[in-house]
């Protein structure tokens, strides 16, 4: 069951539902009774997206397209922006293949945008990072409030490779951003960060699966979320350490703030360890804003709303500040500030 299969066949019975364990909090079959008609062809000027000015190579995809292929062999940092836009409603699918050659260095600035129409979008990315190569992927998802969007990335790392990812989203009617990483160990390093800032009735599902398959691999993962109104955040993180993948070092943390009584966060952090000599840990906290910290700030003469906004910004800021690319970090900082201003 997958959205991709449902789009190909037009059969809503192929959509994943709450009966599928990995989709129980993002039920597409219960939401969609009829598959939408294919999205209309777009013949206007494609929107540039938030990262276009930072890129050596900007790529724009509106609704469906032929597969996008990006191959990088540059040892110097090369920046590609890949902007997916859903315009005019309907259903569509797009895909991309990203290949980073051995020893190369690529920065992928990926973004999603939707208008106010109902739409159903599926995006598949296949990413390979060669031996001793580096890839930083920053994803900024700004789907429309009525959009249903699924983005799935399959990542394969080579020995000694470095892959760092940051996902930022404010959700959609239903939204899922999924990353699966095939980790070989062998000195490769992985960072998976994300933040969801949700309001109204928006929904965001951040799902990751990391498969450690060899010795001497590292994974660091940090996810933070802020939900208010009637929004719903979902975090599912799974790290599996295969038999023999000794000296794996894997750490996962998920922290969320709930700012209203009707907002909801569902979290499922998992460590599945089948090797003996590893260092692995995970943590998960979900709660309200720290009243003691708020009181302390107000004791210093800070108005209540200002103190509250400062604490929320500092909470989310830890994810944004870990973005390595300076220009993308500034775009992310402005994006987060705009969402948090609306929440304060």
Please tell me the pTM assigned to this model.
Answer: 0.96
**1 band by pLDDT with thresholds 50, 70 and 90:** confident
pLDDT above 70: residue 210: yes
pLDDT above 90: residue 288: yes
User: pLDDT tens-digit profile of 148-174?
Assistant: 999 999 999 999 999 999 999 999 999
User: pLDDT tens-digit profile of 118-127?
Assistant: 999 999 999 9
Q: What does the pLDDT read at residue 344? A: 57
Q: What does the pLDDT read at residue 343? A: 57
User: pLDDT tens-digit profile of 34-81?
Assistant: 999 999 888 888 888 999 999 999 999 999 878 999 999 999 999 999
Higher pLDDT, 43 or 235: 235
Length of the chain: 344
Q: What does the pLDDT read at residue 261? A: 95
Q: What is the mean pLDDT of residues 295-310?
A: 87
Q: What is the mean pLDDT of residues 88-95?
A: 95
């Amino acid at each position: 069951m997958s959205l991709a299969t449902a789009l190909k066949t037009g059969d809503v019975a192929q959509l994943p539902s709450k009966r599928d364990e990995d989709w129980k909090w993002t039920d597409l079959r219960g939401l969609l009774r009829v598959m939408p008609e294919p999205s209309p062809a777009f013949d206007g000027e494609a929107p540039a997206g938030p990262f276009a000015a930072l890129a050596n190579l900007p790529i724009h995809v509106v609704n469906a397209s032929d597969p996008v292929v990006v191959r990088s062999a540059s040892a110097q940092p090369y920046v590609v922006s890949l902007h997916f836009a859903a315009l005019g409603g309907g259903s569509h699918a797009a895909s991309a293949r990203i290949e980073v050659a051995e020893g190369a260095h690529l920065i992928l600035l990926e973004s999603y945008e939707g208008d106010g129409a109902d739409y159903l979008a599926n995006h598949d990315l296949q990413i390979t990072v060669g031996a001793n190569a580096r890839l930083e992927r920053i994803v900024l998802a700004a789907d429309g409030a009525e959009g249903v969007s699924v983005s799935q990335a399959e990542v394969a790392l080579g020995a000694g490779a470095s892959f760092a990812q940051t996902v930022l989203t404010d959700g959609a009617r239903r939204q899922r951003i999924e990353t699966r990483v095939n980790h070989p160990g062998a000195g490769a390093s992985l960072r998976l960060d994300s933040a969801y800032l949700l309001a109204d009735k928006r929904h965001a599902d951040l799902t990751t699966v990391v498969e450690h398959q060899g010795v001497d691999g590292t994974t660091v993962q940090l996810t933070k979320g802020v939900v208010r109104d009637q929004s719903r955040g979902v975090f599912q993180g799974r790290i599996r350490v295969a038999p023999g993948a000794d000296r794996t070092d894997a750490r996962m943390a998920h922290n969320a703030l709930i700012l209203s009584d009707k907002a909801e966060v569902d979290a499922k952090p998992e460590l599945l360890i089948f090797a003996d000599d590893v260092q692995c840990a995970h943590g998960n906290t979900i709660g309200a804003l720290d009243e003691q910290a708020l009181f302390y700030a107000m004791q210093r003469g800070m108005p209540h709303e200002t103190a509250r906004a400062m604490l929320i910004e500092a909470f989310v800021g830890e994810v944004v500040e870990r973005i390595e690319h300076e220009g993308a970090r500034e775009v992310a900082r402005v994006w987060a500030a705009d969402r948090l201003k609306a929440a304060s």
